[in-house]
Amino acid sequence: MKKIVECVPNFSEGRNSEIIEAIANAIKNTPGCTLLDVDPGKSTNRTVYTFVGSPEAVLEGALASARIAYKLIDMRHHKGEHPRMGAMDVCPFIPVSDVTMEECVALSEEFGRRAAAELGIPIYLYEYSAKADYRRKLPDIRAGEYEGLPEKLQKPEWKPDFGPAQFIPNWGATATGARNFLIAYNVNVLGTKQQAHRIALNLRETGRGIDNPGLLKEVKAIGWWVDEYNMAQISMNLTNYEITPPHIAFESAKAQAKLLNVGIAGSELVGLIPLKAILMAADYYIKNENLLILEEEQKIKLVIDRLGLNSISKFEPKKKIIEYMIEDKSSERLVNLTVKEFINEIAARTSSPGGGSASATIAAIGAGLGTMVGQLTYGIRKFENVDKEIRSVLPKLYDTTQALIPMIDRDTQAFDEYMRAMHLPKDTAEEEKIRNQKMQEGIIKAIEVPLTTMKLANSIWNEMQAIATYGNIASHSDVEVGAKALETGIWGAYKNVLINLPMVEDENYRNTILDEAKQIVDVAHQEAQKVLDIISQRIGKSI
């Protein structure tokens, strides 16, 4: 996986389109940076930029945008609804893929050092990068805002982490740091600014003070009035969406608004959102409303409707969900081929794709056949008596089918990675050592990928047996083929584990994996037979 960092700088300009575009161009023109979103707000007079790239590229993109802001933004003339203290008010670095929080801390420190040295501006570290607890939270650093900086900068406890401890009138100060993925989320209120703020105080973690905390953890919130919407909003930062996700924030806001006899009219996402947060919301509404929705696209539509995400502007998943914005199709080469092209790839005079990718394909087809029969049973009037049983197994069958599909490419990628390690230089003792280490890492990956295929396929025998028991009997041959395909896919993946195991130097690892894989194959053989036996009994009874 590529190292991917997200950077979400907030600039104190949301009205001048030329300045907004100039900053966007500085990011877009930085090699290796992909600008995902530009979200200006007139009332807040603030623009949030979201871009991603390698750690090195994102650092350069952040510096490039700061240089443009230094030339074009003058804080002496800034007014807006949103709290702020600088032209580049905040510049967080967020781990997205194959990057640790520690790496993002180091990145923020390097940004702080270089920006302060080049532009002569005061910079504070916050969140995971903070050197003291009282500087960890952004509202504490930003307290007093731009207007309070001349006095604040004179206090020893507020000496910047980088740059001069003096007021720079055109700039102010900047906070940078490493943090978790933050979701900026606004709930629309058909009431007054004061009512929106009352609800915000009830919801936000700090509440109205130490003795009167709010209802939701990891939530910052204020109420404000947005002129261009002619509406109040509860503006929230969800600082850890796994603790308080958007759907909980929205439902909590609705409950508080009801107590005040105030209407809620949907919500607004500012910037991007992780797919996981959307799917968490989908699961919540599916469970609460006793729905059965399998496809990701339909789950997203459900969430858009339930949260009212189209209320301000159209919510476009491909422009708002971060995984969709940075989707790397190069990792899905095989699964995007036609069936004919894929078979010809296997038949070609190359060692990959081979048995591992073929086995993952066969296993995915087996799971897919079980899913198909379930869908041919669910929602049909004459099968309403087994609705509960089919509902209970279809999601697992569908999700496992989707999980097996990427294994088709991953198996080939793992083998290719091992082959690249084999061709590393070995002219010196150090090169030989590095080559051997990379080969061991590669061969272990080439074992663990098919082992994962085995585990995934082996996890749905109960569901396959339920489909055999309750599914549409007219499709019994599909269930039988599915069971044998699942078993064959597991057996094929097992053979790929076996052929690679002898090359692993760690004997304990070899023995552990061998025992685990053998047990899975034995279970698969027994469970597949149970599916066939169930079908045989049902066919006999129907005759």
Active site positions, annotated:
82, 411
Structure tokens at 155: 């206090």
Q: 418 to each of 412, 437, 445, 498, how far by Cα in Å? A: 10, 11, 8, 16
How many residues can be counted in the chain?
543
> What is the maximum alpha-carbon separation in the chain?
91
Which residues, including other chains, have CB under 8 Å from residue 155's CB and lie 6 or more apart? none
Q: What is the CA radius of gyration of the chain?
A: 28
Burial class of residue 350, CB neighbours in 10 A (0-12, 13-18, 19+): exposed
% helix / strand / coil in the chain, to the nearest 5?
A: 60, 15, 25
Query: Phi/psi zone of residue 354: left (φ > 0), alpha (ψ -120 to 50 degrees), beta?
Result: beta
Strands 10-11 and 46-53: antiparallel
DSSP assignment, residue 32?
T
Long-range contacts of the stretch 281-290 (C-beta < 8 A, 24+): 281/245, 281/246, 281/247, 281/306, 281/307, 284/247, 284/248, 285/247
